[in-house]
Amino acid sequence: MPNSKGAPTRAANSTVGNGGETHQTASTPDTRLTTNHGTPLSDNQNSLKAGGRGPTLLEDFILREKIQHFDHERIPERIVHARGSAAHGVFELTKSLSKYTRAKVLTEVGEQTEVFVRFSTVAGGAGSVDTPRDVRGFATKFYTKEGNWDLVGNNIPVFFIQDAIKFPDLVHAVKMEADRAYPQAASAHDTFWDFVGLMPETTHMIMWAMSDRTIPRSLRMMEGFGVNTFRLLNDKDEATFVKFHWRPKLGTQSTCWDEAVKIAGADPDYHRRDLFEAIESGNFPEWEFGVQLLSQAEADALPFDILDATKVIPEELVPIQIVGRMVLNRNPDNFFAETEQAAFLPTNMPPGIDVSEDPLLQGRLFSYQDTQLSRLGTVNFHQIPINQPKGCPFQNLQRDGHMQMLVPKGRANYEPNSLAEVGEVGGPREDPKGGFRSAPVAFDGPKVRLRAETFADHYSHARMFFHSLTAVEQAHLASALVFELSKCSFEHVRNRVMGNLQNVDADLAARVANGLNMPLPPANPAAAPPQDMAPSPPLRLVGKYPDTLMGRAVAILVTDGADGAIVEAVRSAVVAEGASVKIVAPKVGGVTLKGGKALPADGQLAGMPSVLFDAVALVVSAEGCAQLLGESAATDFVADAFVHLKAIGHTPEAQPLLDKAAVQPDAGVVDLTGDAKSFVAPASTRQWDREPKVRMLA
């Protein structure tokens, strides 16, 4: 399938390259980019491929040196995705894909396959907080009958860059600035937005990154995507393109930005604790597993290139077929041995699954293996229990190496050999029929460092994503851009980004400029004119996820003298809907209810702020409320719940506290003296109509 999308175009070595990105071309020999060994580079933007849309070539020593150096920059912490949380579980296939693949994990309906799933942030180190605005990793290790399958993806279906050779530059830009080592786990700084402005191919991903998708409510409430385009191969070696999707049973939900910031201070382990406690309590997280399938002809007919990782395939064009389900039902026994030592490799695929020529994926095939060699210190990292295949044996003639943990037997460590004992074969042998085979795809074209013409449109999908969002989400996205760019000290960096935004949506660019109080610059040149694509409603969050208390958390703030009957009525009502309940009291020892009964507390008011919950109920006595009026933590508890658009149930005695917190009556502020069940409906969602009253958005 080479070049069926058009002739390639060069993306570097000019003042304005493919997509309008600016590159500084050397004017004198002593300023030229070189390899570590002094060889001058002619192109630092594109890996070497067999034709513009062909696979990346192993001989590309420039790509290998750059990524290998990048992979070995940290020891032993992961360079990216260092902050992770994980769990064990099972995957069950519900619909066979035997027409498209011979991989048993995708053909044997009802078969349960063990999995280990690791969620992670990207930019921060292992000691950073759980809730920054950041992409989240979503990596699944299937222990299949035919070897491990590692589906290493994110909670966003697209990526910042089109070619893996730019990955070290991207991560260097988003990490702490090199001279000062801050900010940690944040993209709101000059180096990141400088890179973004110079690389228009990042624009679509920036729309997702500035959306509510990157401040998730819970790891249990994130979608997952394989990001890259893969292939399925059937028994006849017929290939079908595939995109992989995870859909959370609880719906895809997010926090508010101010809420995420405050959670970071209240509980840096918020997501890790939430996942662990949900599994520990038996509320097992669950996802549906879906695929988008395309033939070569169907892929060629699309108005964009499916080998471009900055593009999404709208569900309206290619529906998602649900073919399985995954349940996480067991926490790790040891964080380091399992979560930290887990090694995920995109090259881990059973027969029947194969890669595409996506140049981002092609680089990942090398990079992940190289990273594990550095991080885990040995070629034998596959022998660590969490990384060992469980559904089948692993056997070959590779011996020795640092930290060999097995005791291989036999005289011969090569293949073929004829030195086996009588009646035995000479060790494991290849399986031409059932073993891994690659798709028989033909390629032509010269060896080139080029970007295909079909990769040149950097704005149409960004425009489609923005137009797919609700007005609420668009305002959040615009406000996020204002916040991030306001942290940039260089005016030309802000201007270049706004110039790119002009190609996405003129109103969005104007809102950002107004939020920064800066003149709106003209649109930057675009290598390909942006096209208007139909909005895709499945890309939005508001109005998509279910209004439910299932999997959510509710706090009941109580004081001495509170009505225990109301406390129990609220607790029973929300627990019946699948939520968890925490009793919060002024002191951790609990309270004495009206009538003298003691009520233990789950936490102290100052240590359990409302940002940790999805809804709050105030069940207080008049005397207790009077005491709370002198406690700023109590005022913040109520005020934050209101400005974060959460339902607030209350007894009449709590009215002075509501007044002090500037709570205005609306559908989400509920009197609990009637039927406590009336609190359930507003507690099951956010009060979006309240938002214009409590904050200014771009």
Contact 404, 127 (CB under 8 A): no
Phi first, then psi, for residue 49 (nearest 5°) are -125, 160
Q: How many residues does the chain have?
A: 698
Rounded CA gap, 99 and 79, in Å?
39
Radius of gyration of the chain (CA): 27
Residue showing tokens 């095939």 = 365
Name the residues annotated as catalytic: 81, 154
CB-hemisphere CA count at 13 Å for 664? Answer: 9
Q: What b/e sequence results for 81-99 when a residue is b if at least 16 CB atoms lie within 10 Å of its CB, and e otherwise? A: bbbbbbbbbbbebeeebbe
CA angle 669, 277, 214 (to 5 degrees): 65
Q: How far apart are CA 229 and CA 455, in angstroms?
A: 14
What ranges in 586-648 are assigned the alpha helix state H?
Answer: 622-628, 632-643
Burial of 418 (0-12, 13-18, 19+ CB in 10 A): exposed
Parallel/antiparallel/unpaired status of strands 580-585 and 553-558: parallel
Position 24: which residue type? Q
φ, ψ (nearest 5 deg) of residue 481: -65, -40
Of residues 158, 165, 279, 196, the one with CA closest to residue 490: 196
Which helix (H) or strand (E) element contains residue 477?
Answer: helix 471-486
Q: What CA–CA distance (Å, rounded) separates 315 from 306?
A: 14
**Cβ proximity of 251 and 222 under 8 Å:** no
Interacting residues of 124 by C-beta distance below 8 A, sequence separation 6+: 82, 83, 132, 134, 184, 185
Amino acid identity for residue 193 in this structure? W
Q: Which two tokens stand for residue 122?
A: 């990207």
What is the rounded distance in angstroms from the CA atom of residue 647 to the CA atom of residue 372?
46
Exposure b/e, 648-678, CB count within 10 A at least 16 = b = bbbbebbbebbeebebeebebbbebeeebee
Three-state SS for 406? coil
Contact by Cβ (8 Å): 293, 49? no
User: What angle in degrees, to the nearest 10, is found between the helix axes of 257-266 and 270-280?
Assistant: 80
Residue located via tokens 């950073």? 128
Burial class (CB in 10 A: 0-12, 13-18, 19+), 284: middle
Region label for 602, one of left (φ > 0), alpha (ψ between -120 and 50) or beta (otherwise): alpha
